[in-house]
């Protein structure tokens, strides 16, 4: 009887091993991928937006996984998802001048292995904007206000009574035919 139990045990182990070999899914092999990256524009001023576009080429679907990571030299900029067509984009700007080495690192997934590529963005100082011109003073300018003749009449006043302002200026009622009288008072 013991031989039957031994044979039965070995048969069970053999069938279990065979089931593991036959029914277990084989490990999926990742396809080789390659990554390209471009910057637009490749020369920018400090503070100007630069679009970083990366593309992964792979026989499998490159989406999912850990996405695409963008670096400026050794500084991590961001990680963004990769679309099913293999593209990933990120827009940034730079605060320092000089050559910035941008790396797009595809982190891989179950279908595609990891890959990376670099490009360079040259950053220059932003041009200084011209100063705001000072506006011309209101009133009459002949040769001093930025042009040969500049007449600026912003307001129109209709005066119907006679006023003396600090006894310096006289205003007359229009249409009475009278000529102006000299100003009188404490300031004259």
The secondary structure of residue 71, as a DSSP letter, is E
C-alpha R_g of the chain: 42
Q: For residue 151, how many other CB atoms are within 10 A of its CB?
A: 9
Region 69-86 average pLDDT:
96
Confidence band, pLDDT 50/70/90 cuts, at residue 117: very high
The first and second tokens of residue 137, run together, are 């003073």
Q: Write down all domains in the chain, each with its CATH number in brackets.
A: 33-124 (2.60.40.10)
- What six digits make up the tokens of 48? 């100007």
What percent of the chain has a predicted confidence (pLDDT) above 90? 50
Range among 12-21, 24-33, 161-170 rated most confident: 24-33
Q: What is the pTM of this model?
A: 0.56
More confident: 165 or 129: 129
Which 8-state DSSP code applies to residue 74?
T
Could you tell me the two tokens for 31?
């396809």
Listing DSSP states for 21-67 in one string gives HHHSPPPPPPBPEEEEEEEESSEEETT--EEEEEEEEESS---STT-
Instruction: Point out the least confidently predicted range of 44-48, 79-83, 102-106, 133-137.
Output: 133-137
What is the token pair recorded at 39? 């910057």
Phi-psi region of 148 (alpha: psi -120 to 50; beta: other; left: phi over 0): alpha
Average pLDDT across the chain, whole number: 74
């Amino acid at each position: 009887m013991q031989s039957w139990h031994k044979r039965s045990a070995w048969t069970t182990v053999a069938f279990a091993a065979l089931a593991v070999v036959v029914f277990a899914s084989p490990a999926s092999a990742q396809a080789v991928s390659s990554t390209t990256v471009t910057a637009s524009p490749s020369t920018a001023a400090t503070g100007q937006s630069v679009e970083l576009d990366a593309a992964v080429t792979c026989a499998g679907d490159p989406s999912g996984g850990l996405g695409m990571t963008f670096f400026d030299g050794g500084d991590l900029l961001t990680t963004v998802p990769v679309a099913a067509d293999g593209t990933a984009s990120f827009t940034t700007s730079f605060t320092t001048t000089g050559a910035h080495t941008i790396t797009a690192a595809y982190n891989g997934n179950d279908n595609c292995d990891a890959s990376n590529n670099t490009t360079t963005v040259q950053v220059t100082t932003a041009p200084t904007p011209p100063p705001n011109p000072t506006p011309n003073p209101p009133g009459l300018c002949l040769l001093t206000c930025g042009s040969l003749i500049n007449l600026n009449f912003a307001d129109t006043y209709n005066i119907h009574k006679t006023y003396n302002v600090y006894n310096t200026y006289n205003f007359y009622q229009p249409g009475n035919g009278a000529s102006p009288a000299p100003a009188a008072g404490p300031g004259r």
